[in-house]
Structure formats: C-alpha cells, structure tokens
Structure 1
Amino acid sequence: MRADRLVAIVLHLQTRKKMTAMALARELEVSTRTILRDVEALSIAGVPIYATGGRGGGIALDEHYRVTLSGLKEAEAQAFLLSSNLQLLREIGLGDAAENAFLKVAAAVPTHYHEALSFMRQRIYIDPIWWWHDVEPPPFLRDIQQAVYESRWISAVYEHWNGGCVEQLLEPYSLVAKSSAWYLVARREGALRTYRLSRFHAITLLDTHFIRTADFDLPTYWQQHIQEFSAITSVYSFTLRFHESCLPLVRRLLPGRSTIFGPADGDGCMNAHFNVESIDQAKMLVFGLGGQVEVIEPPELQAAVLHTAYDLIYSSSKSGEKRKESSFKDEEHL
C-alpha cells in the first residue's frame, strides 16, 4: 500500500540521514521512478524532504524533523515481540532494556491487540541459542563491544583453526551472533575478516581510533560472508548408500549438506550425495552409521575407511593382548 510505503520512506531517512533513490527503491522493492513520485507527494504534504543531485547527493529529511508513530499494526507488534532474544541481549548488556521495550510496545498497541499478542507469545517461541551454550558470555565480549562502539583499534592474540596463535592489530567494525556464537567483523590490513570470539586469547584496547568505511553495510557483508564460507568449506564431495532408518541421524549430523536421491528401494536403502569440509569429516559420518552404510564414491574414501578400520582393529587387538599379558602377570604375582 502506498501509505505504508510513504511512512517507510520517512522512517528510513530518519534513521539513515540520507539515501539515494536507487537505495530506497531496492529497500522497498519498487522502481526508482515510484520513489521519486513518493518523495514529491511527501513534499506536497508538508514533510520537509529534499533531494540533491551529483556526487554525494541523495534524498534526505530536514535534520530537525522527527516523526513519532504510536500506532503499530498487530502483525508488526507480534513480529517485534517474537524476534528479539533476551539471552543474547543480556550478554551485551541490553537485557533489561529489551524487557522494558517489550512492555512499552505492548502498552503502545491498541487494547484489542493485547489478546492476540498474548496468544502469539504462547504459541511461537524463537530460540536461536544452541543446546550446549555457555551460561557466561564469551571472554572479551564487553571489551570488544566497547571497541566496536568507539571505533578503537585493538591488539588481539587470535588462535587459528590449526592451533597456531598470532598477534594482530584490528579495526573492530561489528559484532554478530550466529547460533549463539559471537563473531567479530574487523578490518585487518585493509580487508574485512571474520573472527570467532571464543578463539581470542587476549584483547587490548588501544587509544587510537579509526574511521569506518562509509559504504560498509553489516547485513550485506554477513550474507556475502555466509555464501563465501559455504562455498569454501564444502570442498569434499562423496556419495553413500544407507538404510532409510539412518536418515534422521544423517540430517542431524550434517543439516543442509546432503542431497537425497529418491525414496528407499526394496531393501529399504537410499543414496545421498554430501558436501563437507574434508575427508576426515566424511569418515566420521561413515563410522557413525556403522554397518548400515556403504561408500559408493570416491574410491579414495573407500580406501581411507578400510585403512582406518584396519588400524582400529589392530589397535584394539594389541590393547587386548596387553590386558591379557597384564592379567597373567597379576595371577603369577598372586
């Protein structure tokens, strides 16, 4: 509806100061021409909105203009109440503020919405926290949060995936919580990189400040990072044949990493293709499925599984012999 779009334009400009017509059109999923018509309509209605051309131009509101909207729609209020996670907000010191905001939103909506909000909160609960989540927030979270807010350089000791630790100077841009794990988006040597907070061994806030890149957009960066990460990590492909009873376990262990080929055959078996990080991860899945799985391809995985199985059998037999030998010695001693 046009009225909703006009309000959305004002709110976008109020929060972002200035935006191009193309950026507004992309946000609201309309044409640039539609945005320009809407801006003209807002100006005629008395909203102090103006557009400037050329380099650095765009659409903006008068800096002293503010709009307050006390009338939330029912669906908007429901979305707000369901989308925020108190546990993660508490970890960055915003737990009490979030609870107060919930109360204010509930009080701001019309009275006849209250029953609907209560109904929704008792029927849908979104919990992004992983099952085995530490009760305490990750170390250095508060220091890194302060550095992000104040655009301060940090000196950090970080542990890479291979166990090696390095000391680096970072420009901390943003914090991201994904599946209850915190990540830092930081610029190092001119390039944006992503760091897992649990791998920091030491953090020192420096007194020097940096200037954030003006065109950095956190949601856009994070979505690109997810796509690049998935492409980089899913480098090993293999195909297995297993009994259909194993399918729930397969999906729990490797969600989103498998392509199932058709329903089970007469023997109750099916084929699936996988993309994972390494051959070691593939072997872990094979041994986890035990005697109900067959490696179809590649041949190197078949050979690796056989070799590992032989090593396990050999190690077990040697351990058994040592235990027998020890038992015999104990009997002689008795």
Structure 2
Amino acid sequence: MRSSRLLSILMLLQWRGCLSATVLAREFEVSVRTIYRDVDALSASGVPVYAERGRQGGITLHEGYRTRLTGLTPGEAESLPLAGIATIARDLGLGAEATAAQLKLMASLPVDAGEGALRIARRFHIDPLPWYHRAETAPCLPELANAVWRERCILIDYENWQGPTRHELEPLGLVLKGGLWYLVASHRGKQPRSYRVASIRSIEVSDRSFKRPAGFDLAVHWPASVADFERWLTRDIATVRLSAEGCRILRAVSPMAAEQVEASSRPSAREQWIEAEMPIETPEYSARQLLRLGAEVEVLAPAALRLALQQEAQAVLALYGQEPNPGAGKVGSGKA
C-alpha cells in the first residue's frame, strides 16, 4: 500500500510540480506527518525530492528529474477508456487528438489488458448531463482551452442577469459541472472568479502571457469555491413544515436543502409531517421554488417568505381563475 502511494506521490510531483504537504495529504487521505515520512523515504531511495520553505513553498522534485516507472497494472490498463470522456475532448476541440491518443494507448497494451479495456469501453458510458437537460452551446470553448493551455490573457464580452460587461482576464482553468462549462480566471492577480462559458458572447485571445499564481491548484480551488458560493447564496434560513411527499419532492429538486431538512427535522403537531430548517435564497426566488412542492410544504417563518408565497399564489389564482381568451395576444386579426 505504501509503495503504491510513494510512486503516486512521485508521479504527482512530476506532473503538477510543487505541491504543499497539506494538498498531498488531502489527495491521498493521510496525515501531513505521513506525507513527510513518505518524502523522507523517497529521498532515502535516491529520488531528488526536497521541501521549499515559505508561504509559496512546498514539496518538489529537482528540476529536470523524470521517473521511468510508468508501467500500468492490468486494472489501470482496463480503466483507460474511462480516463477521458469523448464528449469533453470534443467540446474542447481535442476530439480527433483524444481518439488518436486512445488508439495508440490501446495498441501499446498487452493483449489481455487491451481486450479488457475494449470490453470496458463497449459496456460503460458516462453522460454528465442531468435528466431533462441539454448541453449548452459554447462555441468559444476551444479558444478558451487554448488560452488556458498557453497561458494567454483574454478579453471577453460577458452577459449575465446584471447585463453585458467586458472583462480582461487571466484564464486559469476550465471546469465541467453538471454538463455546464465554467471558466476560472483572475484579473491582474486578484482572487479567481468563475464565469459561465455559455454567457461569453465574444472572446479575444491576446499575445500577452501571464504567470499563474504559485501553488494554484484548480482541483483544490473549485470545490472550495462551490462551497463558498452555496453558503453565500443560501445564507438565510426558513422554518418549514413538510409532509412525507414534500420531503420526497424536495430531495428531487434540491438535494442540498433536503440534506439540511433531514438533519434538523423534528416531529410536527400535524400528524405525519415534520418541522425543520431549510436554507433559502431571496423570498421572491424561494417562493417560486417552494411552489414546486405544492400543498406539501408550509412556511412558518420568515414572514417575508410567507408574504412572497401568498402573492405568487394569488397571481397564479388570478391567471387561472378566469376563462382563457383564445384571441388574446393575437395581432393583425382585424380587417384592413
């Protein structure tokens, strides 16, 4: 087990460069002290690995060192078809290259491992999109990927709910989450922010390069960024009463809210219902979301959310409380 981890640490340092002991400990689910013991073992075996002190320091390999211990185990060889998703490579403009690389890898495997890899490829498929969703159009994605790879500054025209804006950015990485592409980028070295790629209306890739922040790791930054965003978005709490059916619907439409409801649930005065706390956004937005649960939820507090639900329900009642007029909204039906 330890020898496999030592090799993995070596390959990770060779691939990513300087990494902190904390990042390595999180990666291999061990303590920081264990990582330092592993580094000592690597050094004792002749691997030129050392630690750089300071805020931007970490564990690194001597410049130019490369290991040749790159053989694949049978299990690793069989998992090759799952190592990359064809649709992702296509979106990034690398479809042909990815296919060619996979064919070369398959051809280089031993016969048994190659057959196993082909069996995996023919029997398992990864679809990153949720049900009832369609892939977003992101024509600028290949250009973005090129700018990220070459570390080139970009100028984008961006449009969100606040309106159109223009940003000069240093693109640090691309993330595919729930079938949607996001750009992680910073402006003149400031804290990185996330931009939805489908909201980028145009892009200009500059010849000017930039220097990536020392120690920036996209795989570490992204989950922390998502957690911060969710905390900010749902910073308010509502007290609700839910039926069993309401809990079931909530799990389908908002797993995060359902998780907190289950953690805080307690018996209700209403038979077979529960009371709990639920994270919410603005009263107006949350009212429309809660109406998806119909009469299976009752908001007890805050008063602002109860009022928003009442107003939204009254608007729906007014819309459907009258006979529909088939001619309403038609233009040009009169005679000349």
**Residue in 2 that maps onto 1:278:** 282
1:223-267 CA deviation, whole Å, 9 max, x = no partner? 210111011111232233343234332222212112132689985
**Residue in 2 that maps onto 1:197:** 197
Q: Contact conserved, 1:235 with 1:278, CA < 8 A, in 2?
A: no
C-alpha distance 37-172 of structure 1, shift in aligned 2 (>3 A): closer
- Aligned mates of 1:124, 1:265 — CA distance in 2: 49
Give the C-alpha shift of residue 210 in structure 1: 1.9
Give the C-alpha shift of residue 96 in structure 1: 3.5
- Aligned mates of 1:153, 1:170 — CA distance in 2: 6
Give the AA of the match of 2:309: V
SS in 2 for 1:202: strand
Give the C-alpha shift of residue 70 in structure 1: 2.5
C-alpha distance 275-306 of structure 1, shift in aligned 2 (>3 A): same
Kindly indicate whether residue 43 of structure 2 is the aligned counterpart of residue 40 of structure 1.
Answer: yes
Give the AA of the match of 2:301: E
Give the C-alpha shift of residue 184 in structure 1: 0.9
Give the C-alpha shift of residue 142 in structure 1: 2.0
1:90-239 equivalent positions in 2, closer than 5 A: 90-103=90-103, 125-134=125-134, 137-162=137-162, 164-189=163-188, 190-239=190-239
Give the C-alpha shift of residue 91 in structure 1: 0.3
C-alpha distance 114-316 of structure 1, shift in aligned 2 (>3 A): same
- Aligned mates of 2:291, 2:21 — CA distance in 1: 56
- Aligned mates of 2:206, 2:229 — CA distance in 1: 30
C-alpha distance 269-114 of structure 1, shift in aligned 2 (>3 A): farther
- Aligned mates of 2:311, 2:24 — CA distance in 1: 59
C-alpha distance 135-227 of structure 1, shift in aligned 2 (>3 A): closer
Give the C-alpha shift of residue 83 in structure 1: 4.9
The Cα RMSD (Å) is 3.6
Give the AA of the match of 2:204: T
C-alpha distance 155-37 of structure 1, shift in aligned 2 (>3 A): closer
Query: What is the aligned length?
Result: 318
* 261-270 vs 86-95, which moves further: 261-270
SS in 2 for 1:34: helix
C-alpha distance 263-100 of structure 1, shift in aligned 2 (>3 A): farther
Q: TM-score, normalised by structure 1?
A: 0.78
SS in 1 for 2:129: coil
Q: Contact conserved, 2:79 with 2:117, CA < 8 A, in 1?
A: no
- Percent of aligned pairs with the same residue? 28
Q: Contact conserved, 2:240 with 2:300, CA < 8 A, in 1?
A: yes
SS in 2 for 1:12: helix
In structure 1, list runs of 5 or more residues that go unmatched. Answer: 327-334
1:252-310 CA deviation, whole Å, 9 max, x = no partner? 22121121326899854344432132212321233323334322222332233223333
**Residue in 1 that maps onto 2:334:** none
Give the AA of the match of 1:16: R
1:101-146 CA deviation, whole Å, 9 max, x = no partner? 5455555665555676567667754422234554574132122222
- Aligned mates of 1:288, 1:20 — CA distance in 2: 46
C-alpha distance 152-71 of structure 1, shift in aligned 2 (>3 A): closer
C-alpha distance 142-231 of structure 1, shift in aligned 2 (>3 A): same
C-alpha distance 50-233 of structure 1, shift in aligned 2 (>3 A): closer
1:41-63 CA deviation, whole Å, 9 max, x = no partner? 321xxx5x253766668542461
SS in 1 for 2:256: coil
1:14-51 CA deviation, whole Å, 9 max, x = no partner? 223455667655644352541243123321xxx5x253
C-alpha distance 209-301 of structure 1, shift in aligned 2 (>3 A): same
In structure 2, list runs of 5 or more residues that go unmatched. Answer: 329-336
Give the C-alpha shift of residue 213 in structure 1: 1.6
Q: Contact conserved, 2:129 with 2:135, CA < 8 A, in 1?
A: no
Give the C-alpha shift of residue 174 in structure 1: 1.2
SS in 2 for 1:256: helix
Give the AA of the match of 2:64: E
Larger radius of gyration: 1
